[in-house]
């Protein structure tokens, strides 16, 4: 693939991840409890799950993963999460974004299990029981529309803190900080 094509693909992946991040209610800056990462790459299969689970452990962050079947695809085809638990990292694949309306945060809903994932008040990913009605219908379509709209506003540059890892490569800190923590004094 030509350099320009690779760059456009990486920007598209980054912006879609940022769009999902924003629409799930996680800020685009690094919050005080920066404990969730958003990542993208190839399809979210078992091998990728092992890799992302190791990454989540190394980063000390939960990971929302967007999987792309091909660089030319307009949007990811798979969604998954790696959630750090007390003794393991849980890999939840076969997730779909779901929105109740144009305002409430987007959820990631399992299409295999009766559960969904939300960004909790502390920024942690929380696994919850139950699935909303029409997860594969109107709610999924609305979520994808919202993510696409948000991604379209993210610009056409690759962020300085964007890290590209080869398969199996260990985590390394980005060359620049991911953003400022918001501090407010009364």
pLDDT grade, residue 186 (50/70/90)?
very low
Pure H helices in 45-137: 46-59
Cβ–Cβ contacts within 10 Å for residue 75, how many?
A: 13
pLDDT in tens, 43-100: 988 888 999 999 999 989 999 999 999 888 999 999 999 999 999 999 999 999 999 9
Mean pLDDT of the chain: 87
| Half-sphere exposure in the Cβ direction for 134 (13 Å, CA) | 10
| 161 neighbors 21 (Cβ within 8 angstroms) | no
Pairwise CA distance, residues 164 & 115, whole Å: 31
**Residue ranges of domains in the chain:** 3-152
pLDDT of 181 > 60? The answer is no
**In terms of Cα–Cα distance, which of 89, 96, 138 is closest to 117?**
96
């Amino acid at each position: 693939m030509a350099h320009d094509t690779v760059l456009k693909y990486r920007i598209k992946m980054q912006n879609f991840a940022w769009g999902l991040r924003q629409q799930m209610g996680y800020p685009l800056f690094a919050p005080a409890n920066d404990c969730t990462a958003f990542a993208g790459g190839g399809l979210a299969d078992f091998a990728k799950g092992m890799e992302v689970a190791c990454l989540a452990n190394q980063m000390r962050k939960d990971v929302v993963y967007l999987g792309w079947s091909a660089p030319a695809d307009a949007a990811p085809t798979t969604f998954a999460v790696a959630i750090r638990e007390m003794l393991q990292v849980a890999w939840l694949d076969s997730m779909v974004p779901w929105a109740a309306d144009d305002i409430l945060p987007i959820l990631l809903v399992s299409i295999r299990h009766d559960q969904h994932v939300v960004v909790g008040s502390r920024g942690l990913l929380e696994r919850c029981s139950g699935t909303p009605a029409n997860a594969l219908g109107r709610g999924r379509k609305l979520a994808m529309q919202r993510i696409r709209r948000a991604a379209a506003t993210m610009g056409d540059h690759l962020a300085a803190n964007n890290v590209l890892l080869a398969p199996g490569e260990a985590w390394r800190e980005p060359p620049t900080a991911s953003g400022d923590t918001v501090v407010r004094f009364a």
